[in-house]
A and B are shown apart, each in its own frame.
Chain A
Amino acid sequence: MSSNVSRRVVLRGTAAAAAGVALLATAAQATDHTGHTTTEDHTGHGGHGTGPAAFDEVYKGRRIVGKPVTGGHEAHHGGFAVTIDGKELHVMQNADGSWISVVNHYQVFDQPLALTRAAVDALRGATLVPIAMN
């Protein structure tokens, strides 16, 4: 489903040549990654049907990817990693299963996809930057 979203965006995007090329490349990657992530779901935490849904789509011109991870600090924060145009969006799962991100840290979302779209909305085209943890 997420790749369908990407293709729809691409079809609109091809009206502008340069942007169209960039989006086509993104769509090809998106399809690959979506398939790969689905495979991982069967072996990872998501395979039990309890984890949040992986996604890979273009939303408002931004490529957003969310997928289960094992190990590292992402696992500590819910076993799920999110990127916006390849830059990590720090997310955290609450004890009741809801989610927050560093961009929306006081508002809970049922799923990482809605959380990530909200971050894209708040960013208004800005680029995520990592914050040094001392």
Chain B
Amino acid sequence: MAVRKNQANLTATEKRNFVNAVLELKRTGVYDGFVRTHNEFIMSDTDNGDRVGHRSPSFLPWHRRFLIQFEQELQKIDSSVTLPYWDWTADRTATASIFAADFMGGNGRSRDAQVTTGPFAYSTGKWTINVSVDNRNFLQREMGAAGTLPTRAQVDAVLAMPVYDTAPWNSASEGGFRNYLEGWRGAGRVHNNVHVWMGGQMATGVSPNDPVFWLHHAHIDKLWSDWQRMHPQSAYLPAAGTANVVDLNDTMRPWNNVTPAQMLDHSSYYTYA
């Protein structure tokens, strides 16, 4: 059984194996397919229209399926690799070990926000940005220039919300766990604020260009799992018959063969350490 670990607890070997598998997916072009898919959804998911990947109840099951697919691709390269998660309530500085040169690499330099350390620096020749919103082909970060990393207290306040999601099932939904975790509502603006804090590509529609994307979303996925254990009586909503929204037993694009109901229990795919 795959076990997803806190990135802070990875051994040097586990970090190296993860990085090497990511670089191999990049080399073969598989990686950029994930970036393109994410951007297509983020540009087409709208509050008043069809919405699947973001700003909707299926934000969580969609990203769970997206991460499983990515993890399976990593495991084709190295069967020992699983997705680590980044708990940004604990590791909250640009000098935390996650951003050391043996793992994710550091912040961007001041002149052009270019990441110049670690395995994803442009100078390595192994990490060219191909799916981009502009003509820069190097990874960028501006950690802390905008946004604020959510605090543990802000996350706990969101985890305490008993209702999964509420009408109108979009970025304006009030009083439900999903939209406060996604961060269109709430003091912490939880998931969104981490993207903003990272800056560079992480703040854009092509955010999976930064491998930190997967570690961030693995933590969001773990928080959904934590919430489920805290609220065993709380169900995914809406149940059925909702226009433009993925109901419990509707299939999700782009796979068209998986429903939120099938993503509620991750334990057949992986567990969290």
Contacts and interface: CB of A to CB of B under 8 A. Distances in A.
Most interface-central of A93, A94, A106, A124 (chain B CB within 10 A): A106
Contacts of B49: 76
B134 A131 contact: no
Given A129-B132, A133-B40, A105 B47 contact: no
Contacts of B135: 126-127, 129
B131 A128 contact: no
Contacts of A92: 43, 46
A107 interface: yes
Contacts of A93: 47
B253 interface: no
Interface in A108-129: 108, 122-124, 126-129
A103 B168 contact: no
B171 interface: yes
A126 B46 contact: no
A104 B184 CA distance: 13
A77 interface: yes
A90 interface: yes
B46 A77 contact: yes
Contacts of B196: 104, 106-107
Contacts of B55: 94
Interface size class of chain B, counting residues whose CB lies under 8 Å from the partner chain: 35 or more
Contacts of B46: 76-77, 92
Nearest to B202: A106
Nearest to B182: A106
B47 A103 contact: no
Given A95-B48, A124-B113, A127-B134, A107 B172 contact: no
Most interface-central of B49, B147, B192, B204 (chain A CB within 10 A): B204
Contacts of B252: none
Contacts of A122: 199, 203-204
Nearest to A127: B135
B207 interface: yes
Contact of A90 (B43, B168, B193, B203): B43
A95 B173 CA distance: 9
A106 B195 contact: yes
B43 A133 contact: yes
Contact of A102 (B36, B43, B47, B168): B43
A10 B4 CA distance: 56
Interface in B111-145: 112-113, 131-136
A132 to B, nearest CB: 8
B183 interface: yes
B203 A103 contact: yes
B57 to A, nearest CB: 14
Interface string A20-38: 0000000000000000000
B107 interface: no
B217 to A, nearest CB: 12
Given A104-B204, A105-B204, 10 more contacts: A92-B43, A93-B47, A94-B172, A95-B171, A108-B184, A126-B135, A126-B136, A128-B133, A131-B206, A133-B43
16 contacts: A94-B171, A95-B48, A95-B172, A105-B205, A106-B183, A106-B195, A106-B196, A107-B192, A107-B196, A108-B184, A124-B112, A126-B136, A131-B131, A131-B132, A131-B206, A134-B40
